[in-house]
Structure 1
């Protein structure tokens, strides 16, 4: 089913605060008392969004996205000062930061990371596959909550015999995807979500293949612990 652009307005877009008018810049270029920065206000807002995470999205944050493109080199330079790297997909309209590969240089880790639970990794794989299929059709990726629950149900026998408890864990995984803005509820709907294109950059095609092979083994009688180990590797 194809959804119109009007129908596909997400809760993020609907609840977005109006863009404030930038304050007048002082004569010396400073934006506030004691300001020694060199970036204009719009670039600083884009940089703050990147650091706050999880991403800058051209559809949901058009102002920050445009500013990021205009000041890409300066933003990359500042992120490098923090041992961070800018990942930017112009075609997909998405950007985020990740730890730079500093090789043997001892560098602090500023970005938080956490291993995926089994259910979270299964859900991410399913969302990544749905995103790929939508891309081939030239559409925005939309899923229904019932569709997610049914996709997770085939793994219940490998995790728990408690159907109610398993359902709660699936609901918690969906809530986590929303919290991290990988799923955005569509306005006017209680059970339809758009999948963030950021997932294409977070999970490469190689990651998807590794996980898909592992889940296939699980359905044939493999151990959950092995899947969680693969998920940990993908998260890193």
Structure 2
């Protein structure tokens, strides 16, 4: 019913952290039959961009360095897959978007697929976006407690809802889902998270306004909220 601007990454096992992979930046092909032209570290960052929802300067410093040094080259490789690279240098994040043709109605094929957020996840995303909007310029880091997130979801529980155990289970699952998506970042305390700056980038003020209006009309039994381009 309502969309959040983002696209889910291709599925699969997570790419190893750059500090943990073997050094494969030596001269020559990297495997039998290798026709690739990119250096090993650039290939690795290209894979990170494809597999991860986003990369950030603080959490992925090696990938961020390679990206800033080889941005046009990486953009070229992604463009060949009909993918646009979006880099927000101020917030230190980079993510991808499915490209749309300038003319015509026939969409490009895509290796990305849309993510559907549940009702509870959407409530949390709106709350996180509002928290980021109110962050201080001198200290942009925003933290939130699990109890606050649970309470925010409970605020939208219909008065006639009687299965509190089920509702709390759905709320906990929504929090865990946003942690897996790196939209809530582990702070070292299982009950406290840092809000990922990417939330502000992915959700425009216009989209935020639309979602706030939608939340005001929530009725019991509403389904998932589609996320797409």
Give the corresponding residue for 1:76: 75
Cα deviation for residue 135 of structure 1 reads 4.9
Q: Deviations over 1:56-83 (max 9, x none)?
A: 1111100000100111101111111101
SS of the residue 2:162 aligns to:
coil
Q: TM-score, normalised by structure 1?
A: 0.81
SS of the residue 2:37 aligns to:
coil
Cα deviation for residue 141 of structure 1 reads 1.4
Structure 1 CA distance for aligned equivalents of residues 228 and 157 of structure 2: 23
Runs (5+) with no aligned partner, structure 1: 1-14
SS of the residue 1:126 aligns to:
helix
Give the corresponding residue for 2:54: 55
Structure having the larger proportion of residues in helix: 1
Give the corresponding residue for 2:199: 199
Q: Contact 1:57 / 1:93 at 8 angstroms: preserved in 2?
A: yes
Q: Which runs of 4+ in 1 moved over 4 A?
A: none
Cα deviation for residue 101 of structure 1 reads 1.3
Runs (5+) with no aligned partner, structure 2: 1-15
Structure 2 CA distance for aligned equivalents of residues 158 and 128 of structure 1: 26
| Structure 2 CA distance for partners of 1:32 and 1:133, relative to 1, 3 Å | same
Superposed CA RMSD in Å reads: 2.3
Give the corresponding residue for 1:39: 38
Structure 2 counterparts to residues 78-227 of structure 1, below 5 A: 78-102=77-101, 103-136=104-137, 138-157=139-158, 160-187=161-188, 189-218=189-218, 223=219
Cα deviation for residue 53 of structure 1 reads 1.2
Tell me the matched-pair count: 212
Structure 1 CA distance for aligned equivalents of residues 131 and 53 of structure 2: 20
